Structure 1
Amino acid sequence: MTTPEGRRTVVIVDDHAMFRTGVRAELADHVEVLGEAADVDTAVGAVLALRPDVVLLDVHLPGGGGVEVMRRVATRVPETRFLALSVSDAAEDVIGTIRGGARGYVTKTITGPELVSAIDRVADGDAVFSPRLAGFVLDAFAGSIAVAQVDEDLDRLTEREREVMRLIARGYAYKEVAGELFISVKTVETHVSSVLRKLQLSSRHELTRWASERRLL
């Protein structure tokens, strides 16, 4: 639903109100923001009611995540395209979101003008990725990333365990993980033990190697 002035129409889906406000301000002179949503159910309702050209979609949302939004609305609004806009640059998020139906995936380090360009290109049917992320998608299609294996392994972990796993694998100390995620050190220790048990690993060194081989860092 492009406006009479030819401006693209957008719905912003992200669970952080301040981030949505910032994106709306960046787009104000170029794109018509029809609405916002902070969780899966609200996003589904907004997309079906407003039928925007593009949905700016965060990957991790209360209620099931960005892929769940696309699953519930894609066939009902075939003219709407989905552009993932996420803080995550992990391979499993990028590949899973593209497999779920998104036409592009960019990280939140993107500039305002770059985002406007990405929206235009996705609305026109192009696929748009931040440069580093395009390699994940190409590697997945080429078979050098075992996507099925990554998904199966990660499905064993809760969302919080994935967050802890990624930080530990990147070399964070338990206290640093606790500060980053606003949880106690004891809770971090519990999550790490659970991650190692579920992935059948014996140390954080093995965890780092496991995550690196799967492009999860």
Structure 2
Amino acid sequence: MGESAPAPERPALVLASASPRRRELLARLGVTPDRVLATDIDESPLKGELPRGHAVRLAAEKARAAATQAPGAIVLAGDTVVGAGRRILPKAEDEATARDCLALLSGRRHRVYSAIAVITPDGTLREALSETVVRFKRLTPDEIDGYIAGGEWHGKAGGYAIQGSAEGFCAWLAGSHSGVVGLPLYETRRLLLAAGVKLA
């Protein structure tokens, strides 16, 4: 009998994000990316752009940027945006911004949009969006001071990280907890399966 043909090599999976949180969340699905590729795109909102559309656009742009650097791969990208009404809250890079975000979110509902984009080797783009409603308790000045001192806010959309001590501020949440962290697992699993990625 002749030798059987070798199994075709599967495409590499590229995660277009340097975020350790996204790698940790992917691991919950039994997935380890073959390559991590941080993208450098302009994340400034367009004039009149709303939080939902901003998240979707950036996820797709990150995926496309990574796909040009990794031809033949399956590329996964994501973007998470905190919205207060029509307002897009920034990623907090300094204490003043983090304080402003926490003061705005104190005692009120906000929405977290976590968009996912997957590009397959043939160039097909698949997208999904998770929308989660979060309500914070009314924060005291001491609570804000304590959170700022802890440093978890740095680089986080809306000035907080739900996976840290800020979860203690969350009175309730409706939607995807993993989406608020940065990678909605239900939507991610669905897109990866559609792209032909085998999950554990």
Whether the TM-score (by the shorter chain) exceeds 0.5 is no
Greater share of residues in strand: 2
TM-score by length of 1: 0.28
Greater share of residues in helix: 1
TM-score by length of 2: 0.30
Asked which structure has the greater RCO (Cα within 8 Å, sep 6+), the reply is 2
